[in-house]
């Protein structure tokens, strides 16, 4: 069976998930049943098939599992959003189509990912510029004390979603060129020319905490850098030094920047009465923990969790974005939530598999960095909801509501498949065998 045929068969669970999910939700909403639900499913499945046909034509050797796995997450997110608010589900369906358009455009205009190396410094400047855009007067938007997005009229976009990908591209290009010096040199004798990117990314991460006040993006931003640095050099000393710098900087800033300090306090004392009742306190964290405890092992079932208050509004703050994982755990239980995490881990595994198959240094580092960023984003939001780390305002990839996240993750997916197509084309033909 060819890779593309396996990919097509991989979309079958997506159709089953959409059908079963909508059916389960509709069984609890018999009075709200209408033909729009069929439209959601047909639109989604048609878009997936078109995406498969495009990959078959343009990237015939690409990994056959990445796209179906991303489609499973997107389908699951669409069902959960329909359960929360049908209007959001319809918007998310169109956002999914937009993400596919960006995906296809990336594949068409970026036929050879190695061309990105020629523009690495331009890409780095663009990435840092996107990071700072939310603080520009007039277009910057504040959400819960953090400058997360820019807005022009009704359109808003979280620039950090694309910024982290731009920085990974820059680091992959830079480290593929300088890795030999970093591997052979001793840390005390390395010049600023070689350690400059480490200090630059550390400074940018601290800038996120101070100016943007976005703890989650800072962790993803710097964590992705450390992952690429380790893959490039295999030097634990460099990674440990970078991690120590981040921890010390974050500890200092958390005690001097009120917004970051409040997040840490809510994490440490979620059930303290004063924090629970204060604006911007621990109410969101505590309610997320209550919802997960209510789900138990097997959950309440689709559409059965108590989310809406009798007078309007949600008892669980931001259930469609920050706390959608808590809704999933409430309705599907620990087993359902773990199944979701397994799908995310499989995407990360296929990304690192692509990195091992890549035949050039830049491709290896790019695939590893993008996979690490995806994994870190899942860890940051799930860790925040489960009180492992402070809760931050990042999205659960492909699942949470939001155009910025969907578009950025489809761009990330396109880059991985482009690297995968080239990596599998050469070794597969040389060995005359099948690369799984």
Residue 436, in any domain of the structure: no
Residue 402, in any domain of the structure: yes
Which pLDDT score is estimated for 86? 81
Which pLDDT score is estimated for 180? 64
Residue 252, in any domain of the structure: yes
User: Most confidently modeled of 36-50, 222-236, 317-331?
Assistant: 317-331
- Evaluate if residue 428 carries a pLDDT over 60: no
Dump pLDDT digits (tens) for 358-409.
988 899 999 999 999 999 999 999 999 999 888 877 889 999 998 888 999 9
What is the percentage of the chain residues whose pLDDT exceeds 90? 28
- Evaluate if residue 240 carries a pLDDT over 80: yes
Mean pLDDT of the chain: 82
Which pLDDT score is estimated for 432? 44
- Evaluate if residue 174 carries a pLDDT over 90: no
- Mean predicted confidence (pLDDT) in 205-234: 78
Residue 113, in any domain of the structure: yes
Which pLDDT score is estimated for 46? 82
Residue 418's pLDDT band (cuts 50, 70, 90): very high
- Evaluate if residue 191 carries a pLDDT over 60: no
- Evaluate if residue 303 carries a pLDDT over 70: yes
- Evaluate if residue 37 carries a pLDDT over 60: no
Residues 366, 172: contact at Cβ < 8 Å?
yes
Angle at 325 between CA 95 and CA 293, to 5 degrees: 160
Output the six-digit token pair for 298: 């097997």
Mean pLDDT lowest among 38-42, 133-137, 378-382: 38-42
Which pLDDT score is estimated for 357? 93
DSSP class per residue in 206-253: HHIIIII--HHHHHHHHHHHHHHHHHHH--HHHHHHHHHHHHHHHHHH
What is the number of structural domains in the chain?
1
Sequence-ordered list of residues with C-beta below 8 angstroms from that of 162, at least 6 positions apart, any chain:
127, 130, 404, 408, 411
Residue 311, in any domain of the structure: yes
Which pLDDT score is estimated for 431? 44
- Evaluate if residue 229 carries a pLDDT over 60: yes
Residue 256, in any domain of the structure: yes
Which pLDDT score is estimated for 421? 93
- Evaluate if residue 187 carries a pLDDT over 50: no
| Chain centroid to CA 235 | 27
Which pLDDT score is estimated for 414? 96
Sequence-ordered list of residues with C-beta below 8 angstroms from that of 346, at least 6 positions apart, any chain:
65, 69
Which pLDDT score is estimated for 408? 93
| Chain centroid to CA 268 | 25
Residue 184's pLDDT band (cuts 50, 70, 90): low
Which pLDDT score is estimated for 434? 47
- Evaluate if residue 188 carries a pLDDT over 50: no
Dump pLDDT digits (tens) for 100-114.
999 999 999 988 899
Domain membership of residue 54 as a residue range:
3-431
- Mean predicted confidence (pLDDT) in 31-46: 62
Instruction: Tell me which of 367 and 239 has the higher pLDDT.
Output: 367
Residue 193's pLDDT band (cuts 50, 70, 90): low
- Evaluate if residue 36 carries a pLDDT over 70: no
- For the entire predicted model, the pTM comes to 0.90
- At 125 the three-state DSSP class reads helix
């Amino acid at each position: 069976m060819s890779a593309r045929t396996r990919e097509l068969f991989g979309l079958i669970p997506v159709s089953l998930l959409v059908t079963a999910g909508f059916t389960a939700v509709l069984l609890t909403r018999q009075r709200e049943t209408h033909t729009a639900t069929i439209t959601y499913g047909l639109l989604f499945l048609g878009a997936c098939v078109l995406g498969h046909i495009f990959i078959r034509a343009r990237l015939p050797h690409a990994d056959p599992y990445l796209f179906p796995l991303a489609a499973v997450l997107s389908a699951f997110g669409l069902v959960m959003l329909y359960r929360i608010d049908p209007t959001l589900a319809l918007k998310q369906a169109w956002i999914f189509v937009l993400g596919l358009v960006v995906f296809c455009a990336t594949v068409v205009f970026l036929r050879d990912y190695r061309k990105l190396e020629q523009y690495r410094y331009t890409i780095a400047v663009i990435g840092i510029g996107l990071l700072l855009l939310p603080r520009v007067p007039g277009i910057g938007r504040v959400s819960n004390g953090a400058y997360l997005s820019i807005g022009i009229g009704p359109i808003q976009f979280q620039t950090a979603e694309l910024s982290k990908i731009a920085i990974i591209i820059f680091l992959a290009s830079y480290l593929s060129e300088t890795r030999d010096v970093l591997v052979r040199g001793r840390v005390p004798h390395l010049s600023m020319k070689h350690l400059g990117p480490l200090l630059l990314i550390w400074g940018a991460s601290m800038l996120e905490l101070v100016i943007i006040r976005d703890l989650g993006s800072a962790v993803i931003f710097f964590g992705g850098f450390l992952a690429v640095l380790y893959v490039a050099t295999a030097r634990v000393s460099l990674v440990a030094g970078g991690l120590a710098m981040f921890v010390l900087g974050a500890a200092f800033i958390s005690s001097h920047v009120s917004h970051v300090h409040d997040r840490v306090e809510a994490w440490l004392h979620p059930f303290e009465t004063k924090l629970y009742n204060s604006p911007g306190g621990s109410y969101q964290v505590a309610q997320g923990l209550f919802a997960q405890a209510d789900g138990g092992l097997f959950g309440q079932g689709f559409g059965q969790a108590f989310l809406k208050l009798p007078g309007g509004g949600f008892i669980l703050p931001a259930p469609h974005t920050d706390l959608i994982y808590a809704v999933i755990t409430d309705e599907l239980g620990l087993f359902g939530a773990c199944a979701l995490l397994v799908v995310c881990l499989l995407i990360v595994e296929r990304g690192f598999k692509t990195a091992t198959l890549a035949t050039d240094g830049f491709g290896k580092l790019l695939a590893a960095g993008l996979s690490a960023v995806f994994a870190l984003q899942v860890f940051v939001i799930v860790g925040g909801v489960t009180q492992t780390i402070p809760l931050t305002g990042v999205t659960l990839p492909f699942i949470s509501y939001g155009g910025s996240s969907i578009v950025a993750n489809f761009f990330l997916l396109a880059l991985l498949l482009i690297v995968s197509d080239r990596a599998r084309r050469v070794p597969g033909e040389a060995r005359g065998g099948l690369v799984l």
